[in-house]
Amino acid sequence: MIEEVPEKRLNRRTRGERNKRRERYFLFNESYDYDTESDDLSDDMSPPSTPPANNNFFKDGEKSSGEGKPKTSYANKTTERKDHLYKILVIGDLGAGKTSIIKRYVHRFFTQHYRATIGVDFALKVLNWDENTLIRLQLWDIAGQERYGNMTRVYYKEAVGAFIVFDVTRITTFESVAKWKTDLDSKVQLSDGSPIPCVLLANKCDQPKEGLVNNHNKMDEYCKENGFTAWFETSAKDNINIDEAARALVNKILENDTLLNVESAKDQEKFSITKEANAQRNGKLCSC
């Protein structure tokens, strides 16, 4: 006898199909209905077959030119509208709360249920930063166990910001923070060679804390010495400071973006002046 399959079950996408749709979305900016899939995130922990690592589309200021290239900026008739896409890494030890923070930030929910991330998972957060600026944060949720693997270099590529997460109830996760930071700084830099901005998250602050995190001044010092942009006590469970931490990171990224764009504009100007001067010297260009 043939078993009847409920219609709802037939309409569900398989995990492979969902991963493919996500990849297409990230690589080609095809429309992607995140809301309908958000509740399935816990189901979707398998790594994509290819991490979207070409990432040319992260370069800011690039004009959209049709299919295959996501829009990164565009202008309308009255105002210059900016549309940024930033790749953000979320790293830290196993069970520190990376996935929970992302779920809270993007999908606005929390579960006590722990399911270790395998490889990497993705989420997209869209921010209407101001009336002329739309920011899309592509969050790369990298499994804690990946520090012992050799994929981090691939995952970190083209990132412009990072969160390092530790669990305030387990001091060993704080001890690993420096190792994560060293790994990060050695494998990814901004186009001028400086480290990417990194915000430290002392997660699970709804629980009793262990170690240095109990002393705010010492934590400030630690962050300064280790090159963190800022640090925040967060709780994915109680929704504490997650939006604030993200805002601090995005502010820093925008600041860097402006500086780097100014520098590259200056370089281009210098280059064209030198080119023109050389051409004149060689009699190839008429100055009249």
From the CB of residue 147, how many other CB atoms can be counted at a distance below 10 Å? 16
Query: Tokens in use for 29?
Result: 């900016």
Closest CA to 155 of 90, 68, 85: 90
Residue 203 binds Mg ion, judged by CB under 5 A:
no
Chain residues 149-188 in contact with Mg ion, contact rule CB under 5 A: none
Residue 181 CB-half CA count within 13 A: 23
Stretch that binds Mg ion, among 9-17, 109-117, 146-154, 197-205 (CB under 5 A): 109-117
Residues forming the site for ligand GTP (CB under 6 A)? 94-100, 111-112, 114, 116-117, 143-144, 203-204, 206-207, 235-237
Stretch that binds Mg ion, among 63-71, 111-119, 179-187, 211-219 (CB under 5 A): 111-119
From the CB of residue 34, how many other CB atoms can be counted at a distance below 10 Å? 16
Q: What are the C-alpha distances in Å from 125 to residues 35, 38, 207?
A: 11, 11, 27
Stretch that binds Mg ion, among 11-19, 71-79, 90-98, 166-174 (CB under 5 A): 90-98
State the nearest-atom distance from the C-beta of 115 to Mg ion, in Å: 7
Query: Tokens in use for 85?
Result: 């896409």
State the nearest-atom distance from the C-beta of 77 to ligand GTP, in Å: 44
Angstrom distance (rounded) from CA 175 to CA 279: 58
Residue 99 binds Mg ion, judged by CB under 5 A:
yes
Q: What are the C-alpha distances in Å from 192 to residues 211, 224, 260?
A: 36, 21, 8
C-beta of 173 vs 229, nearer to ligand GTP: 173
Residue 117 binds Mg ion, judged by CB under 5 A:
yes
C-beta of 72 vs 234, nearer to ligand GTP: 234
User: Whats the size of the chain, residue-wise?
Assistant: 288
C-beta of 191 vs 207, nearer to ligand GTP: 207
C-beta of 82 vs 98, nearer to Mg ion: 98
Q: Which residues bind Mg ion (CB under 5 A)?
A: 98-99, 117
